[in-house]
Amino acid sequence: MAPGELPPSGVINFALWLEDRYGLSVALEPTLVGVDGACLAQGDSRFMLLNSSTAGVRRRWTMAHELGHLLLADEDELTIDEDIWERSPMETRANAFAAGFLVPASDLREQWRTGDKSVQHVVSLLERYDVSVEALAYRLHNTNCVDAVGRDAVLNERFELNARRMGSDSSRSAVKSPGPLLQRATMGYLEGLLGIRPLADLMNLSPDDLIQQFEAEEGDAAGLDRNVAAGS
């Protein structure tokens, strides 16, 4: 990322951004209990699966963690993370990548230096980086913004901090099919190669709702064509 650039907040926005920025396929689906996520690298293809049942901030961290595995070319083609906090060297490295990716050190130090260190200031940082209280507390400590006492002070305020923050988990349990798969399926439907029901299932819509959506888009396009013709 460019200096000063932060990943977008939210779960779905972050997933779409990763697909566009890194050419990944990202899926959010319910997984086996205890599985946070998985990633697969095969040839030029990169795929990431996240458990849609966990909290939004945890899914964002897991996405960044899996991105670390993929970009760092960790040894296994398939990586399944039942515990992203496992202390193996590979998992520790992926978590270090996630911390730096979601909460860049230089940006955090500047935000901390220029803030008033109040509870509301910490809330603003949680909303800026869209991470958990625990992730922010340890990142503050590891970037030398606070000492261990300061880290623990932030952790001790986790209940108030979580109560004050806004919109940190709005997409809880949201599911998402991989973007490239949706594009190919949509083209297949438009070309008559795929029925409406499997496409609707991929989009988590009813067939009737999806048909209405296509009809509305066709109507918008027709109206645009008429406006352009009238103005020419």
Range of the domain at 188: 179-231
* Model pLDDT, residue 232: 36
What is the β-pairing status of strands 45-51 and 37-42?
antiparallel
Residue type, 141: H
Has residue 113 been placed in a domain? yes
The verdict on residue 98 lying in a domain is yes
Judge if 44 and 137 occupy the same domain: yes
Retrieve residue 229's tokens.
């013709």
Confidence of residue 55 (pLDDT cuts 50, 70, 90): confident
Residue 23, pLDDT above cutoff 50: yes
Residue 44 domain-assigned?
yes
Do 151 and 188 fall within a single domain? no
Percent of the chain residues past pLDDT 70, beyond the cut: 69
102 with 20, same domain? yes
Q: What angle do CA 183, 184, 188 make, to 5 degrees?
A: 120
Mean pLDDT calculated for residue range 30-50: 82
E strand or H helix that includes residue 126: helix 119-129
Most confident of 53-62, 182-191, 222-231: 53-62
Count of structural domains within the chain: 2
Tell whether 136 is covered by a domain. yes
Whole-model pTM: value is 0.73
Q: Identify whether the C-beta of residue 129 lies closer than 8 Å to the C-beta of residue 104.
A: no
Q: What per-residue confidence (pLDDT) applies to 130? A: 94
